[in-house]
Amino acid sequence: MTSNNGRDYIVIKALEDGVQVIGLTRGTDTRFHHSEKLDQGEIMVAQFTEHTSAVKVRGKALIQSSYGEIRNDE
């Protein structure tokens, strides 16, 4: 695998239309800073960065990371 600059990637695949991927800020203040809408079958590949400490996924999706795979439609 090529370098990912020390940052973990996660993959989010939408299992329905209108799935929201929301980035939350790193630091003392935890707030939404970005929201991305995915339609069914669309995939987002994202990293945790200096600006993004957490990701909230709203809607049915398949999420893959180095910790494994999780679906939130069960």
Contacts with ligand TRP by CB under 6 A lie at 21, 23, 34, 36, 46-47, 49, 51-52, 55
Using CA atoms, how far apart are residues 59 and 25, in angstroms rounded to an integer? 21
CB 1 to ligand TRP: min, Å: 19
CB nearer ligand TRP, residue 34 or residue 71? 34
30 contacts 22 by C-beta, under 8 angstroms: no
Using CA atoms, how far apart are residues 67 and 71, in angstroms rounded to an integer? 13
CB nearer ligand TRP, residue 25 or residue 40? 25
- Residue of 17, 10, 7, 16 lying closest to 56 (CA atoms): 10
Q: Which residue is nearest to ligand TRP (CB)?
A: 23
CB 51 to ligand TRP: min, Å: 3
